Amino acid sequence: MTDDIRQRIRSIIAEQAMLDPDQVTDEATPQQLGIDSLGLVESIFAIEEEFDITVPFNANEPEKSDFDISNMGTIIAAVQRLVAEKDG
């Protein structure tokens, strides 16, 4: 389940960043992957659609969001939490 979520997110981000999913490591930041603010908003939308969840994210104050976008690992963890809450 956890690995499945990780793979699906990596695919979404890889498509957005025009990279191979293997290049989307947990340590990589959106900036390092070449994802700008609009690309991030688009990625979050794709994640919401993929998992049928609502991601709390305001582009004006990303640091204040419950959804930590520091790197791929934090994004994956946040999505896992939201999916668990939905299924919970």
Partner 1 sequence: MSNTPKAGGLPAEALVDAGIAAPAVSAAGDLSSRGGLRRVVITGAGTINALGHDVSSTLEAFREGRCGITQLDFRDVERLSIQIGAQIHDWTPETYFNRQQILLYDKFTQFTLLAAKQAVAESGLHFEGALGLRAGVILGTAGGGLNTWDENYRAVYEEGKNRVHPFVVPKLMNNAAASHVSMEFGLRGPAFTVATACASSNHAMGLAFQMVRAGAADVMLSGGSEAMLCFGGVKAWEGLRVMSKDACRPFSANRNGMVQGEGAGVFVFEEYEHARARGAQILAEVVGFAMSSDAQDIVMPSAQGAERAITGAIVDAGLNLDQIGYINAHGTGTAANDKTECAAVAHAFGHHADRLMMSSTKSMHGHLIGGTGAVELLACIMALRDGVIAPTIGYQEPDPECGLDVVPNEAREARVDAVLSNAFAFGGLNAVIALRRA
Interacting residues with partner 1 (CB under 8 A): 36-38, 41, 44-45, 54, 57-61, 64
Nearer to partner 1, 65 or 71 (CB): 65
Nearer to partner 1, 64 or 85 (CB): 64
Please, what is the minimum distance in Å from the beta carbon of residue 58 to partner 1? 6
Q: Which residues, including other chains, have CB under 8 Å from residue 79's CB and lie 6 or more apart?
A: 5, 9, 47, 51, 53, 55
Nearer to partner 1, 20 or 54 (CB): 54
Please, what is the minimum distance in Å from the beta carbon of residue 41 to partner 1? 5
Q: Which residues, including other chains, have CB under 8 Å from residue 84's CB and lie 6 or more apart?
A: none
